[in-house]
Amino acid sequence: MPSTSSVPSSSASAAASHAVVEAAKPGTPAADGYRMPAEWEPHEATWLSWPRREGISFPDTYDRVVPGLVQLVTALAESETVRINVADDAMEKELRGWLKGVPPERVEFFRIATNEPWCRDHGPIFVKRPKAPGLAVVDFGYNAWGFKYPPFDDDDVVPTKVAERLGLPVFDCDMVLEGGSIDVNGEGVLLTTESCLLNPNRNPHLNRGEIETNLRDYLGVKQIIWLGDGIEGDDTDGHIDDLTRFVNADTVITVVEDDRNDRNYDPLQANLERLRQAALSEERPLHVLTLPMPRKIVREGQRLPASYANFYIANTAVLLPVFGDQNDAWAASVLREAFPTRRIVPIDCREIIWGLGALHCLTQQQPH
């Protein structure tokens, strides 16, 4: 992905409306009292979609990726139930063999076929409300990041299949949206990027205002903070989960590049400036922490989108992607301060990142 976006941007666009006076569209989650919880709120489970050996995400590297995925499941199982989509009995049998060290009661398998393993993007987005039914699934459209990697027909129907298995209501939204393109604080604020959500390869029929209305109606948010561009090598057109994440209701953590000659330097500095100008309300500032970037990783001539922002917040731990880099320990120390009650678990993602994603891209939380 280029380091600059074709979508016009300015620091002024980082400011989002603080009060929404119009009522939510009838029949949408917001109208029915649902909201998308923050990732640090209690989970019932974490969902994964196990990759297919013949899939396109890990060409000729499947066996090298498996140890990192097993480490991911093992760490998650210490925190909560892990629910894994598998294609068939053979895949489940093979996976059970790899997971012999994991308590079997902590792992549940679902016969839900997927094209690729990026459950954050094709999986269900759960919304929650106080009254019964307390949990529901939002099924946005999915087109493999702008029709980049067909086929994606199995991935596109995962949310509804999960909801059917769990006996949950489903809200269908006629808008393409991947889970990695948004991040919420659970109290009405959402982060996203112009380079992804305003890209014509997702929703050419929708303008910014219409996209914002859908985000409010289907995720129960009131304020949207727009950042600009993503990092080099990110084939998602700039997912927020490689850039900036909420770590509590009024604090974000964002990656910065120190090397002025690196192509990521300017877009990440521009995003940092937008965040510093943003506010949650007149009385409530947005606090901004920074994370380093790992050194540039190039494989077979392609820059890979390695980022410490692609961490996953589990019930008792934060799973941090690391890359055998001098900044791994620095990133861990920053997250340790941001999440003092959770263990920081580094997981080597040098093979996983060859699929152009990391830990957050592979996981999707189901709220308790």
Residue 306 near residue 243 (C-beta atoms within 8 A): no
Mean pLDDT of 97-101: 96
Mean pLDDT of the chain: 94
Q: Running DSSP on this structure, what letter comes out for residue 91?
A: H
Lowest-confidence range among 15-19, 100-104, 324-328? 15-19
The pLDDT assigned to 191 comes to: 98
- Provide the pLDDT confidence category of residue 11 given band limits of 50, 70 and 90: very low
The pLDDT assigned to 59 comes to: 82
The pLDDT assigned to 283 comes to: 84
The pLDDT assigned to 282 comes to: 81
- Which contiguous run of DSSP H or E holds residue 252? strand 251-256
- Provide the pLDDT confidence category of residue 281 given band limits of 50, 70 and 90: confident
Query: 135-141 and 125-128: which strand pairing?
Result: antiparallel
Mean pLDDT of 114-119: 98
The pLDDT assigned to 239 comes to: 98
Mean pLDDT of 100-118: 97
Whether the pTM exceeds 0.85: the reply is: yes
Q: What is the rounded distance in angstroms from the CA atom of residue 86 to the CA atom of residue 113? A: 6
Q: Does the pLDDT of residue 190 top 60, yes or no?
A: yes
- Provide the pLDDT confidence category of residue 97 given band limits of 50, 70 and 90: very high
Tokens in use for 25? Answer: 């569209």
Q: Does the pLDDT of residue 10 top 60, yes or no?
A: no
The pLDDT assigned to 211 comes to: 98
Q: What is the rounded distance in angstroms from the CA atom of residue 29 to the CA atom of residue 129? A: 9
- Phi, psi (deg, nearest 5) at residue 134: -75, -20
Kindly name the residue from 119, 173, 196, 361 that is annotated as catalytic.
Answer: 361
Q: What is the pLDDT of residues 334-353, one digit of tens each?
A: 999 999 999 999 999 999 99
Mean pLDDT of 80-85: 98
Mean pLDDT of 132-148: 97
Tokens in use for 345? Answer: 């678990």
Residue 44 near residue 367 (C-beta atoms within 8 A): yes
Please compute, for residue 281, the number of CA atoms within 13 A of its CA located in the half-sphere on the CB side: 10
Q: Is the peptide bond before 292 cis (omega within 30 degrees of 0)?
A: no
Residue 120, number of CB atoms within 10 A of its CB: 27
Going along the chain from its start, the domains and CATH numbers come out as: 25-367 (3.75.10.10)
Residue that the structure tokens 């002024």 belong to: 12
Mean pLDDT of 160-188: 98
Instruction: Spell 192-206 as b/e; 16+ CB within 10 A means b.
Output: bbbbbbbbeebbeeb
The pLDDT assigned to 8 comes to: 39
24: helix, strand or coil: coil
Q: Does the pLDDT of residue 143 top 60, yes or no?
A: yes
Lowest-confidence range among 8-17, 133-142, 166-175, 275-284? 8-17
Residue that the structure tokens 């269900």 belong to: 124
- Provide the pLDDT confidence category of residue 3 given band limits of 50, 70 and 90: very low
The pLDDT assigned to 5 comes to: 35
| 361 among known catalytic residues | yes
Residue 75 CB burial class (10 angstroms; 0-12, 13-18, ≥19): buried
The dihedral formed by the CA atoms of 56, 146, 166 and 213, expressed in degrees to the nearest 10: 160
Instruction: Spell 161-177 as b/e; 16+ CB within 10 A means b.
Output: bbbeebebeebebebbb
The pLDDT assigned to 17 comes to: 44
Quickly list DSSP for 44-79: EEEEEEPPPTTSSSSTTTHHHHHHHHHHHHHHHHTT
Residue 265, number of CB atoms within 10 A of its CB: 16
Q: What is the rounded distance in angstroms from the CA atom of residue 173 to the CA atom of residue 218? A: 7
Tokens in use for 16? Answer: 């989002």
The pLDDT assigned to 23 comes to: 83
The pLDDT assigned to 7 comes to: 40
The pLDDT assigned to 18 comes to: 44
C-alpha closest to that of 351 among 336, 362, 343: 362
Q: Does the pLDDT of residue 14 top 90, yes or no?
A: no
Question: Higher confidence at residue 60 or residue 221?
Answer: 221
Q: What is the pLDDT of residues 291-323, one digit of tens each?
A: 999 999 999 999 999 999 999 999 999 999 999
